[in-house]
Structure 1
Amino acid sequence: MLKMFSRIASVILLVLLSAYPLWAERGMAIDPAICLGCHGDKISAASFVASVHGKNGCNSCHIQLTDLSRHVKGEIKMEKVRCERCHKRENAEHYASVHIQKDVQCADCHTDIHTHRYWKKDKRIVVAKCIQCHDHEAVYRQSIHGKAVAAGNQDSAACHDCHNLHDVKPMNDPKFHTDRVFHTKVCLRCHSDEEMMKRNSVFTVATQTYMNSYHGKNYRLGYPEKVAGCADCHTAHAVLKASDPRSTVNPAHLVATCKQCHKHATSMFTKFYAHGEHTDRGKYPLLYWTFVSMIGLLWSTFAVFWVHTILWMYRGFVENREKAALLAEGAIKPVPDGFKQYRRFKARHIILHILVIVSFLGLALTGLPLKFSDQELSKLLMALYGGTANAALIHRICAVITFGYFLSAIAMSIHFLFIRKDIRGNWLERLLGPDSLCPNPRDVRDITGMIRWFFFKGPKPTFERWSYWEKFDFLAVFWGMFAIGGSGLMLWFPEFFGGFLPGWMFNVATIVHSDEALLATGFIFTVHFFNTHFRPEKFPMDFVIFNGQISKHEFIEERRDQWQRYEREGITEQIRVKKRSGVFFDFFFKGFGFLALFLGIALLFMMLYTFLAAPH
């Protein structure tokens, strides 16, 4: 039985082996040598074997070839090769590209797959393919990038570095966030690689300086369509050295280049340092020393007043404990009629201060996101405003309000010095008198008295109408208006100022505006908030600036010298409040005040987080 089974198996195996050629011809891989028997006049066997597809059989691509005998008789219709059967990722990218819309198929670029070899990342091959159709971009071959690629530099940008190999997007595709993104994003792929730039002797801080500019900040916040991108100045394909007379950034062509956006640009305007680095002392000394001066002013101001704040905070805490103990012992006698209210600020002062609060917070809320454009919170805020254009509009409205209250303060000062009849003395006596916000010798005594009090060396000074820190706040507005306001106007109307000022003044203005604004916001949200609201004597908020009223007890405790002067002059009753502010008024403005404090503190934490997490 076993012997018979063995014979049957041998016969079956012999039949199968004898049928192998027919089996191969009907559905199995066909030996390329068989195909070359007919097609050898068109296809080189050596070239095909050496090609990237050389390890594949013919019917790996020509899948309709299932029966060789029928193919020889012409009974099988051959269809176009479908590359996507193997190249799925490339096919998906191709079908999402602009090429498929223009009916550009695989074989239009990969013209002969029988001889196609692996490109080994040789960018010259890509360029040679692209210019077969895009011959109007011949300017690329004359550019810095084109010449470097032709010389074999694999770092230089070829067509696919910007446009991709298969996923080639149309330049007017709204899903691609307009061609404005493209104009800059593709440049950053290489120019943000510092090592690549160094080994090719290319300017290494192009990306950093662009991102520090108004243009770059808008791009980073997600609104590149509002500003110039890299290709707007340097072009997309004809990128040349600035020294090349054909370059769009050559001095001879800068006016025309800038006029693409700034219609009234002049030769003075073009002296702007597009990639000026304020930390480069050798190349940009003016920017460097401006930056150093502003940083010095910022940190010296903070150092003095933060130390002042910390010392006051501790001393005030101790004093409150001492007062609480004395009150518990009955050692402190209450001020007679201590809860009577007296007028400290008039309605116009209150209105002006509300305008200050609204405009200052508006400027901070719209300006700080631009300053810290690399933060996600900044992007969220800009999205909340509806984009950088809306933020700029809000910023400028608040700037107009700021100029308005500044001019009002000047008018009030002139009125105080020269017109008011209820103030004694000539204009100089008024300027240096107790009702003036101008510093005088008494302030020196008050400062030394406070320092002695901080260190438990003497009593707390008894102030007049204005303390030295209140005078500093007032006078700081004048410096701030010239620094922030002046630089802000230059940046708001660059074409006007660029008509008679050299363009590098905009670089200076940017540094001054940015750092002075940082000083102002940091000072207000720390020092001013403490001096006014958070000091132990007033925490959590001093409401006097909103209703203009102060109790007799507070008046005597805080400004004893002013109270005594008013008593001598017999005018205390003239400033006594007969009717206190209403409940709704107090409720509304206390809510407004706390909201303003909250926003200021939130912005302060945003600044602190940015400096700690991502130092600038």
Structure 2
Amino acid sequence: MGINQWAAWLAAAALGLAGGLGSAAAANAPSAPAAQKLDNATCQGCHDGKKGKLEVPKADGEKRELLAVNPDKYTKSVHAKMECVACHKEIIDSVAPHQKPAGVKKAECAQCHLDLWEAAKKDNKAAEKPRLGIVVENVEAYKKSFHAKQNKDDETRLNAICSDCHNVHTFDVPPRGTQERKEWHLAVPAVCGKCHEDHLEDWTGSAHGREADKKNFKTAVCSDCHTTHDIVGSSTDKAKLAITASCGDCHKDAYESYKASYHGQVNRLGYAYTAKCADCHGSHAIEASKDPKSKMHEKNRLKTCQKCHSGKEGKPGLATAGFLSFSPHGNSHDFAKYPEIWLTTKAMIALLVGVFAFFWLHSGLWWYREYADRKQGRSVPHVMTDKLPPELATRHVKRFGPMWRIAHLLFALSVMLLVLTGMAAFFPETSWAKAVMAAFGTPKIAGQVHRLAAYTMLGIFALHLVAVSISIARKWKDFRFFGPDSFVPNWKDMYDMIGMFKWFVGKGPRPAIERWSYWEKFDYWAVFWGMAIIGGSGMMLAFPHVVAAYLPGWVFNVAMVVHGEEAVLAAVFLFTVHFFNNHFRPDKLPPPDVVMFTGTQSLQEFRHEHRAQYDRLVASGELEKYLVDAPSAPFTLASKILGLVLIAFGLTLLTLIVIGFLGGGH
């Protein structure tokens, strides 16, 4: 072998050795990073909490600790079947630090659930996913809530997002009725307290918080009062009304008695300016009223009342000592605790039953007798006009002067306005009551109108007393208190009433009535009763600070009962019995009877309705001085239109009262 051949062999061997060494080195060198599959197992390989603390740098250079996810809890959560990257869309590389492309937004819990619901509806599977439907309802409520508003201190975020309250990796609502659900319920304050630290501290030391420490699962937590998702600012009317109603979910008896008070009536109408549970008892640091720390303790109660009843401009008069004995939760069921309310309520029920039983029976029998007489032709015409002189056949008898008629009209208008505004407060949960208040603007304005109408009625009543006193004084020598021209009941009224009932059942003739019938006298004196009871109690309620300076607070409880119940009695009596007597008896049809507007009555009708007075005037020769010309046709027509309008308004009010009564609005 020549030298050249040996050289070639040596070169080849060197190249082979170099190649072998290079391959070996390459085989032993570290490999380049390669991305792994982004599944849950891969994520939990680092984020299961077993690898120690994981931190990543933030934009400002500070480090942020990553959340550890317990795999066992995650598999039991509502999101167990979801992949981590379904929410963490910005993670596209499993190698730390994760590569995050620009412009990729984080997942939005609300939008994801809304999209799932829309897809379920599109596939006609919404009925199969009732829980998702509830979530969507919560989402819609949240979007309108205070939490969904922009944070004033940090405009880059909202006040609270889903993950602030819900641990998205372990979230699951336990089934109702389970021990887990009860424990979950008691854990709510700790969640809310992460942001509302001061409120949590107050609640923890309160009667509610102490019960929670004792594992009383019925105690109130944040969500019981503020709801879970439909949370609005506590200063809004919506929140005040909702929280007050929430108190009633647990304190049912106290809430029912509160609703019967003026404070509660306004609240039920949808307005929040009167006292509510939180105004008297506090919001978070609530204590039992026997606790010296309670705002309702007897040592603190007057000061609490004076927060609203402060006497300042636009506020009720300053609360006085009598407020202390007022029972804001008094009821008519507990005689031992509230004997005054119990006795008053029973007395008012007896009065209502007695009055309506007698007069509705009276009206029913009267209608039957007149209807039967008309059917048999025994009451038409009222009198035989051919027995009257021709010059008298078309004459009228003067019954009421101008002052009487004006007073009656103003009285009727004020009463109807009182009924409208008063019954709206008495039946606050009816839809018509809310509509009435909306028409007036607010209960405050309706209350002002109510009091204006009351002062008008009281003024008319006072002027009437003055006029009657002057009239009696002028006729003092000849005036007979129990005579035929007097409104004072006498023995003839009793005989007439007995005679009417005999006539009703066909056992005697219709009695001859004097100038004022017994039912007219009842109407007249009922006004005195109403002024004393309704007017007196109304004035007490309108000026509580004055009354409480001299009388105990329980008089307000009694005043509320008699003012409302007597008003119902008066209104229903007016629009049933009074309307029947004067407008709807068969002899009066078609309505209206306009004698209170024209002041006169045809001689024929006068003789029929007041036969005893007619005979007396004829015998004494005084009939002529009461005779007047019939009112003009236009005046009569206007009177009929006015009468029909008032009757229609009265019957409408009666219908509203019946709706309120049957609908359980009071």
TM bucket, shorter chain: 0.7 to 0.9
In the alignment, residue 380 of structure 1 is paired with which amino acid?
A
In the alignment, residue 205 of structure 1 is paired with which amino acid?
D
Is 1:394 paired with 2:449? yes
Alpha-carbon distance in structure 2 between the residues aligned to 1:325 and 1:519:
33
Aligned position for 2:26: none
1:384-417: CA deviation from partner (whole Å, max 9, x where unpaired)? 2222122212211111111112112211221232
Give unpaired runs (5+ residues) of structure 2: 1-32, 55-66, 115-135, 152-156, 175-179, 311-317
Is 1:562 paired with 2:613? yes
State which drifts further: 262-271 or 26-35.
26-35
Contact kept in structure 1, 2:48 and 2:70, CA below 8 Å: no
Is 1:335 paired with 2:388? yes
Is 1:217 paired with 2:265? yes
Alpha-carbon distance in structure 1 between the residues aligned to 2:81 and 2:508:
96
Alpha-carbon distance in structure 2 between the residues aligned to 1:434 and 1:462:
12
| Residues 96 and 485 of structure 1, relative CA distance in 2, 3 Å threshold | closer
Aligned position for 2:519: 469
* CA drift at 1:74: 5.7
In the alignment, residue 190 of structure 2 is paired with which amino acid?
A
Give unpaired runs (5+ residues) of structure 1: 1-21, 173-177, 198-202
Select the residue among 195, 198, 210 that pairs with 1:147. Answer: 210
Is 1:320 paired with 2:374? yes
Alpha-carbon distance in structure 1 between the residues aligned to 2:162 and 2:51:
21
Is 1:299 paired with 2:356? no
Is 1:240 paired with 2:271? no
Helix, strand or coil for the counterpart of 1:531? Answer: helix
Is 1:101 paired with 2:150? yes
* CA drift at 1:33: 5.0
Aligned position for 1:49: 72
Is 1:32 paired with 2:43? yes
Report the identity percentage: 35
Contact kept in structure 2, 1:25 and 1:66, CA below 8 Å: no
* CA drift at 1:162: 2.3
Aligned position for 2:107: 82
Alpha-carbon distance in structure 2 between the residues aligned to 1:325 and 1:495:
58
Contact kept in structure 2, 1:183 and 1:236, CA below 8 Å: no
Aligned position for 2:578: 528
State which drifts further: 372-381 or 181-190.
181-190
Alpha-carbon distance in structure 2 between the residues aligned to 1:555 and 1:92:
71
1:239-273: CA deviation from partner (whole Å, max 9, x where unpaired)? 11001000001111111111111121122122111
* CA drift at 1:117: 7.7
State which drifts further: 151-160 or 453-462.
151-160
Structure 1 length as normaliser, TM-score? 0.85
Alpha-carbon distance in structure 1 between the residues aligned to 2:548 and 2:469:
33
State which drifts further: 405-414 or 485-494.
405-414
Is 1:132 paired with 2:194? yes
Contact kept in structure 2, 1:449 and 1:460, CA below 8 Å: yes
| Residues 480 and 166 of structure 1, relative CA distance in 2, 3 Å threshold | closer
* CA drift at 1:462: 1.3
State which drifts further: 75-84 or 375-384.
75-84
| Residues 483 and 167 of structure 1, relative CA distance in 2, 3 Å threshold | closer
Structure 2 length as normaliser, TM-score? 0.79
Helix, strand or coil for the counterpart of 2:377? Answer: helix
Aligned position for 1:446: 496
| Residues 326 and 589 of structure 1, relative CA distance in 2, 3 Å threshold | closer
Aligned position for 2:653: 603
Q: Give the CA RMSD over aligned residues.
A: 3.1
Aligned position for 1:183: 240
Alpha-carbon distance in structure 2 between the residues aligned to 1:334 and 1:557:
14
| Residues 597 and 47 of structure 1, relative CA distance in 2, 3 Å threshold | same
Alpha-carbon distance in structure 2 between the residues aligned to 1:190 and 1:216:
13
Alpha-carbon distance in structure 2 between the residues aligned to 1:129 and 1:529:
64
Select the residue among 363, 369, 374 that pairs with 2:418. Answer: 363
State which drifts further: 75-84 or 125-134.
75-84
Helix, strand or coil for the counterpart of 2:376? Answer: helix
1:578-605: CA deviation from partner (whole Å, max 9, x where unpaired)? 4x43343323222111111111112222
* CA drift at 1:50: 2.4
1:205-250: CA deviation from partner (whole Å, max 9, x where unpaired)? 111111111111111112223x111111111111110010000011
State which drifts further: 605-614 or 246-255.
605-614
* CA drift at 1:378: 1.5
| Residues 37 and 609 of structure 1, relative CA distance in 2, 3 Å threshold | closer
Aligned length: 570
Contact kept in structure 1, 2:500 and 2:510, CA below 8 Å: yes
Is 1:383 paired with 2:433? no
| Residues 72 and 144 of structure 1, relative CA distance in 2, 3 Å threshold | closer
Contact kept in structure 1, 2:39 and 2:83, CA below 8 Å: no
Alpha-carbon distance in structure 1 between the residues aligned to 2:285 and 2:580:
57
1:478-532: CA deviation from partner (whole Å, max 9, x where unpaired)? 1111111100100111111111111110000011111111111111111111111
| Residues 469 and 442 of structure 1, relative CA distance in 2, 3 Å threshold | same
Contact kept in structure 2, 1:417 and 1:431, CA below 8 Å: no
Alpha-carbon distance in structure 2 between the residues aligned to 1:66 and 1:554:
101
* CA drift at 1:56: 4.5
Aligned position for 2:333: 279
